Amino acid sequence: MAILVTGGAGFIGSHTVVQLLENNQEVIIVDNFYNSSADVLDKIRTIANKDFKFYEYDITCKEQMDEVFRDNDIEAIIHFAGYKAVGESVEKPLMYYSNNLVSTFVLCEMMEKYGCKRFVFSSSATVYGKPASVPIKEDFPLSTTNPYGTTKLMTERILTDIQFAHPDWSIALLRYFNPIGAHKSGLIGENPKDIPNNLMPYILKVASGELECLNVFGDDYDTHDGTGVRDYIHVVDLARGHVLAINKVMNSSGVHIYNLGTGKGYSVLDIVNNFERATGIKIKYKITDRRPGDIDECYADTAKAKEELGFVAEADIDEMCKDGWNFVMHNK
Ligand code: WQD
């Protein structure tokens, strides 16, 4: 019985596949390399010292996905694949709604046709919008301010409705906070192809000299130093959260919603200072205008994931910074 991992060559997907393989799970990856590269596949094999099946297919293509399900005994799906750039989603909403929603429709149709009943979805803390308070609990109100976030919210609702029609299905909705860091080997990590939207990949490119200066998007937020506060979680901890979620959906039915974060908030300048302390590398920055849509503070209440999954993030910010930089040094 195999676990199908869509987007398994991506940043979070590849780290999750490593841990599934290390746990002796049979894994099938479907990835079209839209936001990843083929060399990650052999790096996963090297780290885990295990093999897996791979299909360079498009998960929105029903014929291709029918072949994958027909030719394999798929017990569960972890669905990472999707477009994820907030700014791009505002410019190209149809591309985001089409890709991110049709992929879920196709997967659920395959589940119905082939009797697969377990689904773990890569959601995001972005579904909380601007929270009325922090830390954020899973039962907080949901609202989104950009098409990317709305595809996550819509997918959660679609999956919830489908599970209601299939009471024996088990679905986990994992709301990530801000994943950073990389596997200790330095072989896999976050490797954006163009100028990064997110803070840590941008800092890493400034540290490597690829970019000249970090733009700090506003210092007038209602936070301890005026810069935006987020909950940064090590990608290896996040991957472990998926392994625990797979165990949960294998032994349950219903819809299970979990925050995957550390429960700690760090500001932009906290991250810059911690990165400089962890690596000894000075990060040049300047304060610029706010980025539209950004919120003041966002960090997780982690109690439910701890109680129901046994999930507790372990890595501290120093480790996240060091491991992220180690990946860059290994891939210069
Ligand atoms: C973090 C902080 C910025 C870049 C988004 C999505 C979320 C997930 C992660 C996909 C904020 C500041 C950033 C920069 C800066 N996406 N910043 N200069 O916006 O919390 O979350 O990415 O999985 O769904 O919403 O992450 O890293 O973009 O920003 O000052 O060059 O860093 O203002 O305060 P964010 P981020």
Evaluate whether residue 63 is within a structural domain.
Answer: yes
* Rounded mean pLDDT, 175-187: 98
Ligand 1 test: best mutation among 198, 225, 284, 321, most atoms within 8 Å of CB? 198
Count of positions (residues) in the chain: 332
Neighbours of 143 (CB within 10 A): 14
- Provide the domain count of the chain: 1
Closest CA to ligand 1's atom 36: 198
The tens digit of pLDDT for each residue in 106-148 reads 999 999 999 999 999 999 999 999 999 999 999 999 999 999 9
- The per-residue pLDDT of the chain, averaged, comes to 97
**Does residue 216 line the site of ligand 1, with CB under 6 A?**
yes
Evaluate whether residue 155 is within a structural domain.
Answer: yes
**Does residue 217 line the site of ligand 1, with CB under 6 A?**
yes
Q: Which of 147, 145, 146, 125 is nearest to 135 (CA)?
A: 125
At residue 31, what is the residue type?
Answer: D
Asked if 288 contacts 205 with a C-beta cutoff of 8 angstroms, the reply is no
Indicate which atom in ligand 1 lies nearest the CA of residue 149: 24
pTM above 0.85, yes or no: yes
Distance 206 CA to ligand 1 centre (A): 16
Evaluate whether residue 246 is within a structural domain.
Answer: yes
pLDDT of 191 strictly over 90: no
Burial zone of 179 (CB within 10 Å; 0-12 exposed, 13-18 middle, 19+ buried)? buried
Domain harbouring 151, CATH code: 3.40.50.720
Evaluate whether residue 116 is within a structural domain.
Answer: yes
Evaluate whether residue 191 is within a structural domain.
Answer: no
Evaluate whether residue 252 is within a structural domain.
Answer: yes
Asked if 278 contacts 207 with a C-beta cutoff of 8 angstroms, the reply is no
Show Cβ contacts of residue 212 under 8 Å, excluding neighbours closer than 6 positions. Answer: 206, 284
Asked if 298 contacts 177 with a C-beta cutoff of 8 angstroms, the reply is yes
Domain extent, residue 100, equals: 2-182+232-261
For residue 316, give Cα distances in angstroms to 141, 231, 237, 278, 306: 29, 11, 10, 11, 17
The tens digit of pLDDT for each residue in 31-51 reads 999 989 999 999 999 999 999
Evaluate whether residue 42 is within a structural domain.
Answer: yes
Evaluate whether residue 216 is within a structural domain.
Answer: no
Ligand 1 test: best mutation among 148, 156, 178, 180, most atoms within 8 Å of CB? 178
Q: What is the dihedral of CA 271, 274, 278, 282, to 10 degrees?
A: 80
Q: Which of 121, 96, 90, 86 is nearest to 246 (CA)?
A: 121
